[in-house]
Amino acid sequence: MELTDRVIRILYVDGTGLLASDSVGRIHLLDEELRVVRSSPFVRQGRPLYGLAVHDGWVVGKDRMGAVFRWSLATLELVDRLDPATVCDPSGLVPGEEPSPVSSRGIGVWDGRVYVTSGYHRQMLVLDLHTFDVLEIRPNICGGSPMEWACTEHPTRHAVSDKKGSLRFGSFADGVFDEHVKLDDGNIHRVRWDARHRRFWATQDFGEGENADVANGVVVVGEQGEKEAELLFARDDVEFVAFSPDFARAYSGGFDGELHIFDNSSPELRIARTVTGFPHQLSDLTVAPDGDVFVLCQDGEIVRLDADGEFVRAAGFRRQAVWDIQAAPHDPGTLYCATDTGVAVVRVVEAESSGGPMLRVEAEHTTALGFTRRVAPLASGWVGITRDHRVFRSEADGTLRWNRELPALPHTVAVSPDGSRALVATNAGAVELDTGEGRESARFDVDGLPVWAGVYLPDGRRVLVTRNGVITVLDAGDGAEVMWRFDQGEYPKRIRAEEDRIYVVGDGGLKEIVIGLGVVARWAKLLSNTVENAVIADGLVCAVSYGMQLAAYDYESTRFRGLLEDLPDYPKAMTVLRSASGTAYLLLGHRTGLLSLYRLQQGAGERPFAKVRDRWLARSPATYTLIRHDHPAPSRTPAGLSPQP
């Protein structure tokens, strides 16, 4: 058997093997060859399982809507499910409150009891592990923020983290967690006890204070809760930290796609080796008793390494995703889709029936350059950027015209109004190239910060947005004079321009920003996580979030119009199509390679989205080569400073 659905979490269980939870609510046991040995039954209400814990022969899990499950570890048979809507204390809810989606990982197991936040984030369930009786419903330890991790590895002192950067210390024995330290402005995905040096390690998503949305990594906290040191090695979310069985090594990584192996033989925080070349961002890691390391990538691939980071084997998971959709400039019926394998060309065909447009995949062009993150159309073909730090140009038939190496991980690509230049936003600033031959013509630096989005204004001026939300408008000439600078304060995911205004999506929703003025409108209501993409059509704003949501708003009033939740997988790409009669349709691209078509509706009392059809792109295993980089031991760092790898 093979895994057919993307894995969300992995956990090695001594004496059993590698457990994996997936995006449709099932768990699987894998053997040493990363093949499926057995799987749990199909769950009709199956949703991504982020929380996963094992204790005393039971597997406990929590899905993204707060449903809590219990399986037998020996057989993986499903035994219990608690519904997120009804297992609650009604007296603690606001009128009309419903469970809210969240990718929370936190499950605490201590002394035969399970502690887990439910679909109502202000409440915590206390369950009997062996009967699954609900013993108590109490206020959440973390207030209104879901518990993100629970560390019970210390014999008496427990640590709980949340999604707002707080780390709390106490004990599940009495439920008192009254000691608090602030470590991040975002998620603390993982907290682990370092038994060798008697300290806690915690991950950061954003960084804190002056480093917020600039640099982040891991933070070390002493046994009494005092912050001792940090190492800021990342420019994106850090998802995990774990230790070798003897605690001589620590492993950490995340959305930068790099695995850092720490030498933990002494208390100094030091990265001894970095492993790169994974096919995707890294989302989880677990260590076997023999020291081998299992790394989970965001695309569902599982890679087994030895303790030193040498490749052992991989699962070969067949994956696909649609990251971006752009229409050909002179043919809106031809769509270029940035995918895990390259670029797919999809043709919109007018259907003779009333079923709406058909989607016909005309070609799938493989680049072998890592997944294509964004694509920008040209009069003939496109320019794309890939996870392997490349920018390339292809002709309309898929023929590769050129490809160039970039100085760092790219995030967005845009083409100038005349099609002669391409602007690539990277972690090392912005790079501009001529589209004819791919020659680099300029680099642009903004305070030495990662640039996460860039676009051209209609008059050729360049707009750059840093990871921490600083917008800089540069002139269209060679001098790159700064014409306007504005700090909108939140990290971006994408940007587009119209006349004298830009639209930025990311943390904080979709923002409409007038050049020279600032934010004039924002759409974000009821979106539970970062906004990934947005479009505007016929007075309707449509936005998708990392919470697997699709929302609609009125453009003029910003009034909320409707919401779809529990989408099939994470939506990434979106565009608007029109039929021959002018009817507007919304096309979404998802992680699973799914293209979903919705008819947009604006009638009184109508829901804004009516599903028309789904179309899946073909899946295939990733091709990649891992590279190990050794780091020499640095000179001693003066006390109080944060060393850099």
Mean pLDDT of the chain: 94
Across residues 59-84, what is the average pLDDT? 97
> Long-range contacts made by residues 142-148, C-beta under 8 angstroms, separation at least 24?
142/117, 142/166, 142/168, 145/121, 146/102, 146/104, 146/106, 146/117, 146/121, 147/104, 147/106, 147/108, 147/115, 147/116, 147/117, 148/104, 148/105, 148/106, 148/187, 148/188, 148/189
- Above 70 in pLDDT, residue 636? no
- Environment class of residue 639 by beta-carbon count within 10 Å: exposed (0-12), middle (13-18) or buried (19+)? exposed
Residue among 606, 601, 612 nearest 539 (CA): 601
pLDDT digits (tens, 9 = 90+) for 263-304: 999 999 999 999 999 999 999 999 999 999 999 999 999 999
Residue among 336, 453, 349, 416 nearest 384 (CA): 336
Looking at residue 42, what DSSP letter applies? Answer: P
**What is the model's pTM?**
0.94
Residue among 272, 271, 236 nearest 257 (CA): 236
Is the domain covering 524-616 a CATH 2.40.10.480 domain? Answer: yes
Spatial contact of 283 and 297, defined as CB atoms under 8 Å apart: yes
Residue 353 is predicted with a pLDDT of 65
Across residues 121-136, what is the average pLDDT? 97
Strand order across the 108-110 sheet? 108-110, 113-117, 123-128, 134-139
| Phi, psi dihedral angles at 165 (to 5 degrees) | 80, 15
- Above 70 in pLDDT, residue 635? no
| Phi, psi dihedral angles at 90 (to 5 degrees) | -60, -30
Name the token pair of 284. 């989880």
Across residues 396-411, what is the average pLDDT? 96
**CA 624 – CA 311 distance, rounded (Å):** 11
Spatial contact of 250 and 201, defined as CB atoms under 8 Å apart: yes
Return the minimum-mean-pLDDT range out of 203-217, 298-312, 408-422: 203-217
| DSSP codes of every residue in 439-507 | -EEEEE-STTPPEEEEEE-TTS-EEEEETT-EEEEE-SSTT--EEEEEE--S-EEEEEEETTEEEEEET
Residue 477 is predicted with a pLDDT of 85
- Above 70 in pLDDT, residue 644? no
- Above 90 in pLDDT, residue 575? yes
- Above 50 in pLDDT, residue 641? no
pLDDT digits (tens, 9 = 90+) for 189-229: 999 999 999 999 999 999 998 898 899 999 999 999 999 99
634 — pLDDT class (breaks 50, 70, 90) = low
What number of other Cβ atoms are within 10 A of residue 605's Cβ? Answer: 5
Residue 580 is predicted with a pLDDT of 83
SS3 label, residue 209: helix
Neighbouring residues of 588: CB distance < 8 A, sequence distance ≥ 6: 544, 550, 567, 571, 573, 574, 594, 595, 596, 597, 598
- Above 90 in pLDDT, residue 328? yes
Element (H, E) at 644: none
